[in-house]
Structure 1
Amino acid sequence: MTFSSELREIPGARWVSAAAAVVAVTVTGLALVGWALEVPGLYRWGPALPDMVPATCMRVLLLALALVLQLVPGGFRLQSRVAQATAAVAVVLGAMTLWEALTGEQLPLLLRAGNLQPEGGLAARPALSTALSVVLLGLALLLLEVPSWLGVRPSEVLTLANALLLTVVLNGYIHRVGSLDPRPSGGVPLAMALPTAVALFSLGLATLCARVGRRGVMAQLTSAKLGGFFARRLAPYVVFGPLVLGVLLAGLAAGTGLPLTLATVMLASLVSALGLLLLLLAARVLDRIDRTRQEVAEALQRSEVRFRGLLETAPDAIVTVDASGRILYANAQTERLFGFPRAELLGQDVSVLLSEVRRSAHRRERNAYFSSPLLRAQRGVMRLVGTRKDGREVPLEVSLSPVEEGSFTEVTAVLRDISRRLQADAERERLLSLEQQARAEAEAGQALLQTVLDEAPVGVLFVEPGEAPPLVNRALRELLGKPGRVGREQLVSRLRMPDGATLPVADMPFARALRGHSVRAEVYLLQPEGRPAVPVLVNAAPAREPRGRILGAVVTLQDISARWELERLQEEYVGLISHDLRNPLNNISVRLQNLRRVLEVRGREEEQDYARERLLLDGVLRSVDRMNGMVEELLDTTRLESGVELHKEPTELARFLADVMERTVLPEERSRLRLEVPRPVGPVSVDPARLERVVVNLLSNALKYCPPGTPVVVRLEREGGVAVVSVRDEGPGIPEDKAARLFEKYFRVRSVKGVEGLGLGLYISRLIVEAHGGHIWVDSHPGAGSTFGFSVPVGTGAAGEAAPRTHEEDSSELASAGPPG
């Protein structure tokens, strides 16, 4: 089924059409049932009224079938042709009945259609009015798809003509005009049966609602405009009002016996009253519409004020121009942006806002824009360069919004100054270029760093916070036996304590460094394929930015297998010295002492003085004792460097210092010493035997290097969390360049003659103090004496601590042990 371009879909119209068609088919079907079952009440709706004969039922059903076929959506061309053929058959049958009525001839086809003679004596042929109605409706269905002509749709004209005919029929029944004389003598019946009128009226309504055009009666009734509103409100009163009034008056006349003329007068009066009522109703509706129009106008005015205020406060310049390019409106931002007063802009050509070289091209583009609806439909944003009144150029971003009303077209342009955006874009491009350059430099730096790290002899690992993969060098990959990618999980699974225990993840060197600690530890690194574990020295420290934020952790792992082998050899060397060198010296010392006693005995027996021999023996014994002291110093140095166990215990340093001075200093030198303790220090956890070695060394040096009789002051005080012991003398002092090296191994000050030694005393003292977690120093100037001092932490600690191999702050040091497993 083909829809004309003038037709339109109205929601609910098809449903009304279908419902009306169902009413027509129902009435017709009941009539046929009445004929079949001999129930006159189904085809004759009153005594002495005309019947709805079977021939009429057939015609009505043909019309209903033609209508239904055109109501079904999405039909094929064959369906439309069948519908038109059905309507044409109904038209032909109706025309034959009209021909018989006009000419008085009986056509054989009509006779064969069934001239039944029921008992009432009424003819079985359709009435003249029925035939005319069938022809009108059939033609309307045939022309249902024909478009309007001179503003009128043919289908609607035929349907309305049929409606007028049926209204006459119904009014005849209401006023009993002709209804009792259904047909002339021996001819075609004139009066239409009441069921037929109802069925055909329903089909007419269905035909009107089946197709709604953009013009015509149904277009007016369904219009959303004011005319449609009034038509929908008044149509029920106009169509059904007289019928209802007629029914009421007919009933009144039948019940009271009023003359027909009086009833007609009353009907005319009621029609006038109905017209007046419709007039008053229309006036009321118009008043309501007028009030609504005024409210809408006021709302529109308020909206216009708000819209104008919005335009005036808009941050962009807004200009409205007509098709000739004249400026019709410009907001305040346009004045500020271009420097033109608004009064000067209005009426000017919009090209005044452009540079001279751009104006001619703009006029061509403007003419093409206004002449092409397609261009106006392609909304978008364009860029151009405007010109201020002072001649300066302004980069603009322009959005066009056309307004079309009939042949009138104007355009509103929104012009945005994008100077800052372009500057920002340029700055962003510059920063992006710098960022790309910095990224390239960073990548080059990282590549250089990777090259440097790969050439480093120790394994290096850089770990960032989070889960980012660490940066490793080639030495670490070789140390781990992993030629490919190395992650922090490899360290977690491979690092072991010397006793074979696994390090918790929180105590891993990189984890502690990420928390801000510096770590130095000796651990074992497990090797793949069953190879022996490798001892490694692990150093970890946080990498910070200038403001102190931790960027990551730098971890180094150094294979110390060779160093541990040297320490093993050193221990063997110490054992060799202890056994093969010290024992002969002890034997020499014992034999010399025995020889001295023998000389004393023989001298008493022989009454001879062996003074010279005893003097020689005493010199040899002193040399042996000095040799023993040197051996002990060498052994102590080796033990301290290898890490010895400290036997700490809480000690009162004031009493400890007084006891050491009493026991170790000769009586003739003791008077030179003075102990100063300004205030109590409290107990300190130290190894008394080893700390005594430090104090004795400092006292002996002070007494040895300062002139006889000069005082030596020993001072004990507390500074924060440490106890400070200092020994001050009035000796010759030490040059600054030599004082900085006093605590180095084997260093001696050569300027002092007559003093022998290996240069290990102060070095051993430094090792002992640092083993306690303290610090040792000297403050000396030539000719002003010297002050040697050391510090140890205050408080009690656990006994039996191992002397660490290093002296890094916050170090994690593990005692030497055999490899795990």
Structure 2
Amino acid sequence: MNDVATPDLFRTLFETAPDATIVVDRSGCIVLANAQAEALFGRAPGGLVGEPVEVLLPAALRGGHVAHRERYMANPRLRPMGAGFELVGQRLDGSEFPVEISLSPVQGGAHPLYAASIRDISETRRVRQALARARYDAAVAEAGRIALESRAVESLLPSIPGMVAGALGIDGVAVLLSSPQRAGVQVQAALGVPPALLDDLPDLLARDDDGDALRTAAAAAGLHRSACLPLRGRYGADGALLALSADASAFDRDQLHFLQSIANLLSAALQRRHSEEQLAHAQRLEAIGQLTGGVAHDFNNLLTVISGNLQLLQDGFEGAEREQIVQGAMRAVANGAALTRKLLAFARRQRLTPRTIALPEWLADLHALLRRTLGESISVSIRCPAAIPAVYADPGELDAALVNLALNARDAMPRGGNLEIEVDELRIDADAEVADLAAGHYVVISVADTGTGMPADVLARALEPFFTTKDAGRGSGLGLSMVYGFARQSGGSMTIASELGYGTRVTLYLPVATDGAGTAPAPAPSATRGGKVVLVVEDEPEVRGIAVAFMRALGHLARVAANGEEALALLREDASIELLFTDVVLGSGINGIELAREARLLRPGLPVLLTSGYERTGEDIDDPSLPLLRKPYRREALAEAIDRLFARAARP
């Protein structure tokens, strides 16, 4: 072996090594360098010998390297110093480049020597950077896709921490947003942040200390590097994106650029939400303005009719003329009641009485009605499979909705045309998006015409209240909005498709009736009218006077109270009271529903009839034992409601 291990052999191996190799003495002076080292650092042959090894590094790194090297040489170990350690090398022309270097002692000589193997990793680093940047770009693109597909920024937030942590290979990520309800920011999504630190994040970010408190708290949790990027809004920061890592070398320029891209994307999503909220608010204000103007116009007309007829009655008309005047006033009242029902339908506040409807038979009856109503110039066809499932909806409101759509279609076909009503069924999965509907089983009713259609600007406003393209006096502009309100309150939806010159298709989606769906209530048997003692509770004196007059006209005896407290006192004192007739809204104090419950505690089984101009009062009044009579009501309707109550009470 000694015959083979000659100096010439070592020299040959040294010179032919693929990496740049140098040998330094105890003082750090280069005593030997191969051709690869001279070429790597831009030196002439023999130009490195005699130079301190630190000449191969940038000036800023030399002092630190000297101290590190001396500590190593003072206590040499039989393992490489900085094996695989990355440094920056410097050529003779001053250009810098990344290198990987390892230093180890050379054994067996009279004087200690140290060999350093140096490798240019410029290309390796470029590949790593390219791969990392591709990974960052893919993550940003995925986040952008989710943001575009999400209807709300809240749908994007849960995916951000995992996406960022995976792309950067870091330990923790949190997204914090400002809250209108609470001061400061709140954690909206997080991954890998220790619970104790997570709880303290809002307070730590609120401190005005340039992030020192956050860095201290993170370091205490073993996360030595942090990056906090604000989510900038129009009027300041809307929140922050926080990244944490146990690696002290984390968050280089590329990583910070990636985090900034994610922060910008989140900021844009938040701004989109703010803009959509402002637009929706502006649209609501515009709709309220249109609604107010339309209601005022229509009710002023109705009040003019009622007032005029009442003035004519004061003039003393008799006989047939008096009857005509009264009928005119009553028609105006009926029109006013119909208008309020449309308003309630638009607001999705009408009181519905849904039941199971078998569509084939029901549509057959509707077909005959539409043929008579629309006239001979319009062909009506209805296609409904016999096996179509029943729907669960209010039959009266569904009938009104389809007649309304048919009348709209007639007005769009002044020279005649075709009206087609088609029925189908649709199952919507949890991950499907159809007309803002929840997953479930629906019946689809499409009403299509061959009329003039609507241009895009008219279609965009078709559901606005009191928006109409018809001439004055030919429509209130509540038709489509009423149908839409009915569909939404019934648990379904409605869509409109139209193009100028190609007709219009309106599609209703209604839920299929389940096995437990209600059925039509059986008609109550007739009862003998008159002779009952009725407690009338109404806070408006004039309305109370009408109710009392109606009761007396029907042969009942009336007791009167202006509020709930008076009514309860009368119920305690007067045992002859047989019926409680109360308004739902009674001003201050308890309301009519609360009064009914208190009355039932005093007098179990006492019949109660509610009345209201509101369909909902904030409490559920769908209790079948608390029927509601809508205002304005006719005397005949009041009589029928009382008869039904006493007939129900008489049943065993």
TM tier relative to shorter chain = 0.3 to 0.5
Instruction: Give the TM-score normalised by structure 1.
Output: 0.32
Normalized per residue, the structure richer in helix is 1
Structure number with the higher strand fraction is 2
TM-score w.r.t. structure 2 length?
Answer: 0.39
